[in-house]
Amino acid sequence: MHKPRFITLEGGEGAGKSTQIRVLAEALRQRGVEVVVTREPGGSPGADILRGLLLSRDVSWAPQAELFLHFASRAEHVAKTVRPALARGAWVLCDRYYDSTMVYQGYALGGDLAQIAEFSRMIDLVPDLTLVLDVSVKTTEMRLSSRGAAADRYESLGTAFFARVRDGFLKIAQDNPQRCVVINANRSLSEVSADILAAAIA
């Protein structure tokens, strides 16, 4: 239980990542593990400033500018939050990481997949485990509408976009079976939490 582990949670909008990351963190803390919970975009003071720019509906970014901002945010987050936590022996649970860039800016928005893969390699930190929370597009839409908050830039892109996002995450899981576990997140919170904990402490 004390090997430093870097675990990322991935999936489309409303998949339950932020809910489940809190549950997993608590379960690990009860087992005596130091846990750092973080998220992207953001996760450090500088990266949080970039998050505000990325999610704002006031700006329509040129695709390359958007891609560079995501990786600038990630480089800052990894340097200031993730690596220091891993170095002192904590586990890091990260809500989204570079698979989200491959899916959103790559598969879903048509960016250059090879370029995104190269930038990901430059970050030089591969997760020990990636949990892909898979939900149907219908579940995504139901959860977003029942939450009732105003949609951010990505949440406003609609049904066809959500379907491309889902397919993109499933493709990444299929291509990276050594680090990815797909969790059926259409089920109840407790069923999903149980599978996540089992995968994390396996």
Q: Which residues bind ligand T5A (CB under 6 A)?
A: 11, 13-19, 40-41, 55, 70, 95-96, 100-101, 104-105, 143, 147, 152, 154-155, 188-189, 192
Q: Are 25 and 36 in contact (CB under 8 A)?
A: no
Minimum CB–partner distance for residue 20 and ligand T5A (Å): 7
Minimum CB–partner distance for residue 96 and ligand T5A (Å): 4
Peptide bond just before 4 cis, omega within 30 deg:
no
Closer CB to ligand T5A, residue 26 or residue 152?
A: 152
- Please state the φ and ψ torsions of residue 59, each to the nearest 5 degrees: -120, 135
Closer CB to ligand T5A, residue 173 or residue 192?
A: 192
Q: Are 59 and 53 in contact (CB under 8 A)?
A: yes
Minimum CB–partner distance for residue 1 and ligand T5A (Å): 25
Closer CB to ligand T5A, residue 57 or residue 88?
A: 57
Distance CA 6, CA 92 (A): 5
Closer CB to ligand T5A, residue 33 or residue 192?
A: 192
Closer CB to ligand T5A, residue 5 or residue 39?
A: 39
Minimum CB–partner distance for residue 55 and ligand T5A (Å): 6
**Dihedral, CA of residue 164, residue 170, residue 176 and residue 182, to nearest 10:** 140
Minimum CB–partner distance for residue 155 and ligand T5A (Å): 6
